[in-house]
Structure 1
Amino acid sequence: MKKSLIALAVLAASGTAMAQSSVTLFGIVDTNFTYIDNANTAGDNKYGLGTSGNATSRLGFRGVEDLGGGLKAGFWLEGEIFGDDGNAAGFNFKRRSTLSLMGGFGEVRLGRDLVPSYTKVSSYDVFGQVGIGQFMGWSTWGQSTSTPDANGYRQDNMLAYYTPNFGGFTAGLGYGFDEKASGHDGRYMGGFAAYDNGPLSVTVALDRRDIGYNVAPLVYDGKKDMLSIGASYDVGMAKISALAQQSRFKDVPASSDRKVNSYMIGAAAPVGAGQVRLQYALYDQKAIDSKAHQLSLGYVHNLSKRTALYGTVAHMKNKDASNLALAAKGLSTTGAGAGESQTGVQLGIRHSF
């Protein structure tokens, strides 16, 4: 009888622990066929299998433990996968590797992650920051930099804080340590403030990133400041989104400060079992006195809650010295050349688990 009681107590304790903790395996596989004309300065056309045309392919693990008193601990490990070549360069957790404490005060997050000044405001991109249709305001804009994350998406060694939702108001702050013996190449600081109420959403984000310019034989410390303002409104039959952004590069060697203004307006509308997406973007590159216009049209057809077919057509019209290229991940493409245009088509399938 005593052994039975002990066994029942152990099972009960184990059941309680399991109820307070959870670990989830999740992922997305997105593979597509892509065609790009004027894929390089030689005017070659490129086609083949690519990845992440509708959503970034990924594999991850996340877990939460209830510590009691409203306090929770959590972890998140996530890496990108490539369905076209099976991760030829190897798998890592560079998409996200964080540890968090959460409660009524909000969330404190430590590790490598999307920066707060990107994670919310980037959601206004109708194409979700993936594929050839995506808004390309987050870019290094041709700067020679030694910082791998100079595009502004993610940050190593970051301490971040996200507030609870106060009647629709949310905010986030982050600081990324450079951890360098000299200089501050790689340091980040930034945040956002947002308001979401019914059909309306508005976000303002601001950040500064220290980046290095390699000009042999010296390495210069420079700065990249970015201000982003995004908004969306759901009118019922469609959701209208807009973004305005300025990137300013400071302390650039052998030149004055450089500035790029980027603008985007788009709409997403449900059609049957899918969604139509239309987006226009303008990239005003003040440093080279040139502009580029991007027009993107896409359709996503849901076969189920987890599987979808999609197609996207995008055109990049470069003017004067501009040489922007469409983002075709997994396909070897570059800019078509100064003032040259580029058109791309993607047809793919996305499955989540």
Structure 2
Amino acid sequence: MVKADTSTIRLTEYSHGAGCGCKISPKVLDVILQSKLSIAPDKNLLVGNQSKDDAAVYDLGNGQAVISTTDFFMPIVDDPFTFGRIAATNAISDIYAMGGTPIMAIAILGWPINQLSAEVAQQVVDGGRQACADAGIPLAGGHSIDSPEPIFGLAVTGTVAIKHLKQNNKASAGCNLYLTKPLGVGILSTAQKKQLLQPEHDGLAADIMCQLNTVGNKLATLSQVTALTDVTGFGLLGHLIEVCEGSNVNAEITLDDIPVIPEAKQYQALGAIPGGTHRNFESYGHKAAALNQSAIEILCDPQTSGGLLVAVIPDGEAEFLSLMKEQGFTLTPIGKLLERAPKQHSQQPSQPYVTVI
């Protein structure tokens, strides 16, 4: 087994992709998830694959439900501890995005044991352990394999009162849209991988990715929040289109109102665009109104441990904004949801789900 000085390891050199940008494209994933098996649905499964939501939810029969999710990926940063922390934070986020409370996690580790030492893997797992501790849950176990590239993530279990369950397909027309973290993580991570990142920008993306979306648990109690999801590998455009498709609404968003990490724009100009951006546009671009290249690069930028996308009824907006301010957020709307007109005939062209102004 190779021994290495963990202080000089550049984990991103050992993987072909980074973070949630490693995701299989939605277009391909739809094919993979098709099944010819005739299996009766479980009446207690409240949320499964059908709604493309953030986690599975199972009714326990007592007003409570268990939430189950998993997420893992290849290194998005070079530092092992930070990689583990980001991967774990990202996985735990799916529980918060359903309005739930995480209760425990188990680790998923793939490691090229003949290329990277066990000591480096230990730091990755410790990063995951730290994120779990920050969320107030134990890292209770896990599973590991020898793999060609380093992979780390969690399977996370949570709970939610069914009356407070939040989903991505319950949005209603008239809602305003909010985003709790800025976009641009994919661009900064690609700049790092290409060794374009200036020293003063090192850690910018990591600081954002290590922020837990704990506020999702608090949003669960607000009836004016009609839909909730986290923005990750499919970019803002992809996750917003999933909200619109599932809820049968359209969205109009204002590009200048969407929060973007300011430093990401200079690396966008240098061409630090993740491969996942192009895959996201191939999968979702035809469902949006025409976009210029710059807008595509921002809206389809794959986020890792991204923020929450929240749909809020205007009448209850003041209470929502007050709660968010208490939690340290100062937010302005990025757009709104609109009625979707029904098709008059089968030959009528489909309306775009998302229009950017």
Which structure ranks higher in relative contact order (CA pairs < 8 Å, sequence separation ≥ 6)? 2
Determine if the TM-score, normalized by the shorter chain, exceeds 0.5: no
- Would you tell me which structure has more strand in proportion to its own residues? 1
- Would you tell me which structure has more helix in proportion to its own residues? 2
